[in-house]
Structure 1
Amino acid sequence: MKKFFATPIVLASLFASTASAEDLVFLLGNESSVDLVEFNVSASASNEWEANLLQGDYIAPGYEADVLIADGLTNCVYDIRGAFSDGSSAEDYGVDLCDLGEYVFTD
């Protein structure tokens, strides 16, 4: 089974003035070798994943999409999960999305 590693890339120039997590917009990239078919986030204090933000869509290898998290929370720290078309998944915990400009899944 393949292992996927999620690598956050900070683009400070895009979100340098972001102060709260009320409306977060960032690029979600897929540099893995298979389609990203599910993307979930949840506040780090939560024990469950929120709904799939891709909502039935997918991100093919080499592509990216804008992601909006408009949950009204003022917390910036989220856990991230990506599921792929080959059945594998990757999780990352405690990611500060207020400082994040892009999040990329890679092989």
Structure 2
Amino acid sequence: MFKAFARRAVLAAAISAVAFGTMGFQSNDGQDRRVRIINATGVTMTHFYASNSGQDDWQEDILGQDVLPSGQSVRINIDDGTGACLYDFKARFADGDELIRYRINVCQITEYRYTAG
């Protein structure tokens, strides 16, 4: 039991370090753009992208070499330094599914849940 808990804690810390390192910019408008991404799909999330809705392409995979197992969450600083609040999210899963959501206002939400179905 303790080993499983410790492994989850290490995974969460590793993903958080990647997430905060990847999007480590800070806008000067006082808005909090940190969002908890929750994977409640029943399938492991292998990639996660959050790109300013004004961009034409996806930024780098925030999870990097880590994954987000179903039932787990990670808090990500979405701030890219531009002051934008609207971001597009793309998640890829181990079963090949890809979910894209457009124009998520990260200045107004504190969590985003991916669910099955």
What does residue 48 of structure 1 align with? 57
Label 1:35 to 1:66 Cα distance change in 2 as closer, same or farther (>3 A).
Answer: same
Cα distance in 2, alignment partners of residues 39 and 20 from structure 1: 25
Q: Does 1:96 align with 2:95?
A: no
- Considering fraction of residues, name the structure with more helix: 2
Cα distance in 2, alignment partners of residues 30 and 44 from structure 1: 22
Identity of aligned residues (%): 27
TM-score (ref. length: structure 2): 0.70
Q: Does 1:30 align with 2:39?
A: yes
Q: What value does the CA root-mean-square deviation take over the aligned residues?
A: 1.9
| Structure with bigger RCO (C-alpha 8 Å, 6+ apart) | 1
Label 1:72 to 1:21 Cα distance change in 2 as closer, same or farther (>3 A).
Answer: farther
What does residue 9 of structure 1 align with? none
Higher Cα radius of gyration: 2
Q: Is the 8 A contact 2:44 2:69 kept in 1?
A: yes
Q: Is the 8 A contact 2:31 2:107 kept in 1?
A: no
- Considering fraction of residues, name the structure with more strand: 1
Label 1:70 to 1:23 Cα distance change in 2 as closer, same or farther (>3 A).
Answer: farther
What does residue 15 of structure 2 align with? none
Match of 1:79 among 75, 78, 88: 88
1:35: how far off?
0.2
- Dislocated runs of 4+, deviation >6 Å: none
| Residue ranges of structure 2 left out of the alignment (5+ in a row) | 1-27
Count of aligned positions = 89
Q: Which amino acid aligns with 2:35?
A: F
Q: Deviations over 1:15-68 (max 9, x none)?
A: xxxx94876212110000110111101111111011111111111111111112
1:100: how far off?
1.0
What does residue 59 of structure 1 align with? 68
